[in-house]
Structure 1
Amino acid sequence: MRVSTNGIFEVGINQVGTLQANLARTQLQLSTGRRNITAADDPIASARALEVIQSQSVNEQFVTNRLNAKSSLSQAEIALAAATTLLQDVKTIAINAGNGGLSDSDRASLATDLRGRLDDLLGLANAQDGVGNYLFSGFKSTTLPFIKTATGAQYQGDQGQRILQVGTSRQIPVSDSGNSIFEGNITGNGTFVTAANQAPPNRGSGIISIGSVTNAAQLTGENYSITFAISATQPPQTTFDVVNTTTNTPVLTGSPFVAGQPIAFDGLQFDISGTPANGDVFTVEPSQKQSIFTTLTSLINALGQPASGSTGQANLTNALNTANANLNNALDNMLSVRSTMGSHLRELDYLDSSGEDLDIQYKQTLSDLQDLDYTKALSNFAQQQTTLEAAQRSYVKIAGLSLFNYLS
């Protein structure tokens, strides 16, 4: 077979070039620590690595979201913790206000103290986060949630609950609307509300209890009035009538009254102590939602009224009983919200732990797909370097061959 000089040169140059390219590629692998320099080196591994990198980026974003969620929940929980302590102090004041040894001026001092507590609570309800957004205004984060009014406060936010995606399949609310925390407090015992008539006010010393449910199936959810009458006979007899004022139908008529004895009808029960006067009226209505600011304002107004004599003391006691029941409900509601926030914070800790494990798994997968085996690569580099040097030397020898070198 004839081998031309030109063919020898081309084959030698191509071989040396190939060896140099392989050596350069191995050197690039060693410098980058990557087995696959381009997707063409291993298309399947490159495609899989891209998927893992995208999943890793999403997991990193979830980490950021969880940090933001923790910040928002922690700030809201701090504000509600302060509000809880404040309401507990208010409840203590309300209980102390029932002390029969206090004078009207003493109760006026307590009312002044409560006005300051009301302003403090309003400030907590209008708390902001680190960037100036209001914590309890729902989706309207730049709107002041509450403004003070003559009857308490008016809510200006909405019912929205801001939510963050903190995991692949988990969203967590990072706030609660001020309406659900401060406005949505049930009154009375949670089912119905008992109260002494205010217009005109009762003249006797009757004090009505909060009451309880005896048979939920018999409850009507309607309004009732309990009207007392005292006979002109000697000795006088006190009786009462119960009327369903929603349907204007009598429920009990001429029932004899015994102070402290339970009065029961339509699945509910309560008692009235003291001595009601002729014509005194008490009411029973379904429980409603009431703002804690309205509860505090009503309590302040009650402490500002004179409480002289048995009638004044009875009116004060009825107002304090109502306020205490509503304060208890507000505290329960606030503690429930805080409990929910605490469970969310704990869940975020669990998600952080699982996210860290997932990140380790992603890194290991990427390492298996992309990282270079340095021992193997260094061995290949040494082998390729030796091969290249041998090819270059042999090419020089072959390129120097010529018959003219042997002719004299």
Structure 2
Amino acid sequence: MRISTAQYYGTQASDYQRNFNKAVATASEASSLTRINTASDDPVGAGRLLQLGQQAAMLDQYSTNISSTKSALTVQETTLDSITTALQSAKEISLAANNGNLTDKDRQAYAAQLSQIQQQVLGLMNSKDADGNYLFSGSKTDTAPYSQNNDGTYSYNGDQTTINLGIGDGMSVGTNTTGWDAFQQTINTARTNTTMTSPPVDDGRVVLSNGTVGTAATYNAKFAGGEPYTVSFLSSTQLKITDALGNDVTAEATQNGLISNSSGANQTVSFRGVDMKLNINLKAGDTNPDAVIAGHSFQLSATPDSFTTARSPGNPSTAVITGSNITDPVAYSNAFPQGGAVLKFTSATAFDLYAAPVTADSKPVSSGTVAGGNATAAGVTFALGNTPAAGDQFSIQSNNHQTQNILDTLGQMVTALNAPIDGNDVAKQKFQGIMEAGLGNIDSASNQVGAAVTSIGARGQSLDMQTVTNQSLSTANTTTQGSIRDSDPAEVMTRLTLQQTMLQAAQLAFSKISQLGLFNKI
């Protein structure tokens, strides 16, 4: 076989160039100790490195999310702890103020302290984080959670949205605590009401408090099914309770309805989960206690729903809703929107009631016309001040009194403390009933805040455990990337030496062979 000199030279140059490139690549690898610099170096390894890089970036993001969540939860926990401390102070003040020996002036001083705590708690509920976002508004971080209504009550303006952040593969955690969960769902222990039905004019001899819910499970299971109840006093030592159908249910009351007339102050009558304070106030000259006490009666029922109303700022008239009450319980139960409603006037006399929020395709749940200055819709009568106009809208929120935020509770207690009762034993007994109901609600609020703190602690534990998991994954990721990407120094140096030796040998061989030729033999 014959090859030309040009062909030989070309072949040798090509082989030498290829081996030289390999040696240069190996020298670069020896310098950086990185085996894969481009995908062509190792297509399979490069693909695996890409996947591992994406995982590493995700783990870094998880770490950032965990850090920011921990910071947010810490601020929330600190704020809730401050609220708990304030509520403890409120309880101590309330216990001291609930003393029959105090004067009106003393109670007013306690009212001022309690009012100050109310404002402190309001400020804490409306706290912001370092970025200026409200802590307890849910997703409405630019809206203050709580604001005061015209009637002195407080409304929650946030939502119930939990903002979740991913902290691991398929795992996320809530970064916020909503005011709805921490404050607004506080169980209201004072959600029953007593009304004297006989005698027509209260003689002060029998005082029965509105009651507090002492055993929620019993109340929920039994109370609502029989209301309204009639509490009748048969004598100064025996009362009788009948349900709405007239059935005698006294057996479910404390001591089967047996009471005392000799130590009549601050007795407790418990019935179907409700604890009522009873005072028998015999007067001088009451020689026959049974005769003067018998015939007193009260109606006992759950506190009826109330309504918070507000006019829309753009209303064309100056009309306002001055009062509201349920006038048709059946219609109210069947038709009134429990999530909120909007009363919209189409003229000075015609109106429609919609479920909130109102959209373009909303249909009214009730319609009617104004009669005697009142608008009645879905079983509720709204008293109007001034004449409405077409386009007037009023937002309406019902309150079933099953829950009550602590701001409203403190406000009610402040009002009770400021009311003059000196020299009026009956008023003092009623005042003490209000204060005991408030104390029960303070405990409920503290429990609700405590539950929120517990939730934060549980989430903090999850963050700590996931941090350990993510760190383990990150370490494994780094090790795996290194095993794929990094070179073995000994192997690289051995390969580089071999390639350099081969290049030198190729140079020597080429030099020797290129000297062979016919003219060299002539």
Instruction: Say whether the fold is shared (TM-score over 0.5).
Output: yes
Cα displacement (A) at 1:312: 2.5
What residue in structure 2 maps to residue 358 of structure 1? 473
Task: Return the alpha-carbon distance in structure 2 between the equivalents of residues 389 and 27 of structure 1.
Answer: 15
Report the CA distance shift for 1:357/1:202 in structure 2 as closer, same or farther (over 3 A). Answer: farther
Does 1:394 find its partner at 2:509?
A: yes
What residue in structure 2 maps to residue 285 of structure 1? 302
What residue in structure 2 maps to residue 166 of structure 1? 167
Query: Under a length normalisation based on structure 1, what TM-score does the superposition of the two structures give?
Result: 0.86
The AA in structure 2 aligned to 1:140 is K
TM-superposition CA deviations, 1:271-298 (whole Å, max 9, x none): 5442168657473528711111110100
Does 1:177 find its partner at 2:178?
A: yes
The AA in structure 2 aligned to 1:183 is Q
Q: Is the 8 A contact 1:212 1:268 kept in 2?
A: yes
Output aligned runs, 1:5-24, within 5 Å: 5-24=5-24
What residue in structure 1 maps to residue 127 of structure 2? 127
Q: Is the 8 A contact 1:195 1:322 kept in 2?
A: no
The gaps in structure 1 that reach 5 residues or longer are 232-236
What residue in structure 1 maps to residue 460 of structure 2? 345
What residue in structure 1 maps to residue 54 of structure 2? 54
Figure out how many residues of one structure are paired with residues of the other and give that number.
396
Cα displacement (A) at 1:340: 0.6
**Out of 271, 280, 295, which is 1:275 matched to?**
280
What residue in structure 2 maps to residue 332 of structure 1? 447
Report the CA distance shift for 1:171/1:336 in structure 2 as closer, same or farther (over 3 A). Answer: same
Task: Return the alpha-carbon distance in structure 2 between the equivalents of residues 217 and 118 of structure 1.
Answer: 30
What secondary structure is seen at the aligned counterpart in 1 of 2:280? coil
TM-superposition CA deviations, 1:225-274 (whole Å, max 9, x none): 5545587xxxxx46545354xx4645458966434776465x44645442
Does 1:377 find its partner at 2:378?
A: no
Report the CA distance shift for 1:216/1:293 in structure 2 as closer, same or farther (over 3 A). Answer: closer
Q: Is the 8 A contact 2:34 2:486 kept in 1?
A: yes
Out of 314-323 and 273-282, give the one that drifted further.
273-282
Task: Return the alpha-carbon distance in structure 1 between the equivalents of residues 134 and 267 of structure 2.
Answer: 50
Does 1:219 find its partner at 2:333?
A: no
Cα displacement (A) at 1:379: 1.1
The AA in structure 1 aligned to 2:40 is A
Task: Return the alpha-carbon distance in structure 2 between the equivalents of residues 220 and 322 of structure 1.
Answer: 18
Q: Is the 8 A contact 1:122 1:146 kept in 2?
A: yes
Task: Return the alpha-carbon distance in structure 1 between the equivalents of residues 196 and 117 of structure 2.
Answer: 26
What residue in structure 1 maps to residue 311 of structure 2? none
TM-superposition CA deviations, 1:23-64 (whole Å, max 9, x none): 011122223322233333333322222222222221211111
Query: Under a length normalisation based on structure 2, what TM-score does the superposition of the two structures give?
Result: 0.69
Report the CA distance shift for 1:26/1:356 in structure 2 as closer, same or farther (over 3 A). Answer: same
What secondary structure is seen at the aligned counterpart in 1 of 2:224? coil
What residue in structure 1 maps to residue 110 of structure 2? 110
Cα displacement (A) at 1:170: 1.4
Cα displacement (A) at 1:193: 4.1
The gaps in structure 2 that reach 5 residues or longer are 251-255, 283-292, 304-400
TM-superposition CA deviations, 1:54-108 (whole Å, max 9, x none): 2222121111111121122111111111111111111111111112332211111
What secondary structure is seen at the aligned counterpart in 2 of 1:289? coil
The AA in structure 1 aligned to 2:280 is T
Cα displacement (A) at 1:148: 2.1
TM-superposition CA deviations, 1:1-35 (whole Å, max 9, x none): 32321122112211211110110111222233222
The AA in structure 1 aligned to 2:38 is T
Cα displacement (A) at 1:331: 0.4
What residue in structure 2 maps to residue 2 of structure 1? 2
Task: Return the alpha-carbon distance in structure 1 between the equivalents of residues 220 and 179 of structure 2.
Answer: 33
Q: Which has the higher helix share?
A: 1
Q: Is the 8 A contact 1:204 1:310 kept in 2?
A: no
Cα displacement (A) at 1:168: 0.8
Q: Is the 8 A contact 2:212 2:274 kept in 1?
A: no
Task: Return the alpha-carbon distance in structure 2 between the equivalents of residues 205 and 40 of structure 1.
Answer: 96
What secondary structure is seen at the aligned counterpart in 2 of 1:65? helix
